[in-house]
Amino acid sequence: VANFAVRYLLRPPSEAAELGAAGLLLAAFSASVCSLLAITVDRYLSLYNALTYHSERTLGFTCAMVLLMWLLCLGVGLLPLLGWNCLRDQSSCSILRPVTKDNAAVLAVTFLLLFALMMQLYLQICKIAFRHAQQIAVQHQFIATAQATSTRKGLSTLSLILGTFALCWIPFAIYSLVADSSYPAVYTYSLALPATCNSLINPIIYAFRNPDIQKSLWLACCGCIPSTFSSRPRTSSDV
């Protein structure tokens, strides 16, 4: 919203306002992607180091990691002010004006690499969760259909999260690689809008699929937890 206001409501926008709005946009997009990556890493560690996870991932450690991530994203947002801009050479502008085409390509490639890392981590999560489900089924003598249902739920949740992320972000990243500032701005905003809305969609996915977040919502809204939550065992598909 700030970027749009500076570009189209301030006539003409000052260099400081234009660079600041671009930096805010880069910081916000970086924070969105890095938050999803951090959640993916946290999910992987919660399964890979299941026995020591809760003792190692304290509240202080989590707050420190969130702060570090935001400082990193704010650093990305400062790049336009540090020279990653095309204010002196308009022909080198990308769709993320005033970021240059070369710098926008670096950001887009970095995003695609982060997405590949998320894919790899989620594949490992699926393998570990499937192995845990098999072990639990053997220990508790669950019937095969119950195990299959739990595994399918876990795989469907991961597929939904990754699929939504890919549909919202990859078109914008690819467009950043092939387009420049000569392309109509409406194309840029139409592709950036789904990427922005991904931050709205993800909490909905987590709230409907993750019982821990459902409990938190019930506590926040009603001050109580339904009895169905306390009696239901946690499974690998809840991760």
Average pLDDT score, the chain: 79
**Distances in Å between the alpha carbon of 181 and those of 34, 144, 154, 195?**
26, 56, 42, 19
SS3 10: coil
100 pairs with which residues across the strands? 93
What is the total count of domains within the chain? 1
Looking at the domain assignment, is residue 35 inside a domain?
yes
Q: Considering the domain boundaries, does residue 234 fall inside one?
A: no
- Is there a domain that residue 228 lies in? no
Q: From the centroid of its chain, how far is CA 22? A: 20
CA distance linking residue 150 with residue 170, whole number of Å: 30
**Residue 235 resides in a domain:** no
pLDDT mean over 144-148: 51
Give the structural domain span for 156. Answer: 1-222
**Nearest Cα residue to 72 out of 36, 108, 110, 31:** 31
Residue 238 lies in a domain: no
- pLDDT higher than 80, residue 125: yes
Is 130 contained in some domain? yes
Residue 91: CB partners within 8 Å, gap ≥ 6?
Answer: none
pTM of the model: 0.73
Q: What is the pLDDT of residues 153-206, one digit of tens each?
A: 666 777 788 888 889 889 988 998 888 878 888 888 888 888 888 878 877 877
CATH at residue 51: 1.20.1070.10
Residue 177 belongs to some domain of the structure: yes
pLDDT digits (tens, 9 = 90+) for 46-59: 878 877 777 777 88
Tell me the two tokens of residue 208.
Answer: 């409907």
pLDDT confidence tier of residue 71, bands split at 50, 70 and 90: very high
Closest by Cα among 89, 120, 115, 113 to 102: 89
| Residue 17 is assigned to a structural domain of this protein | yes
141 φψ region: left (φ > 0), alpha (ψ -120 to 50), beta (else): left
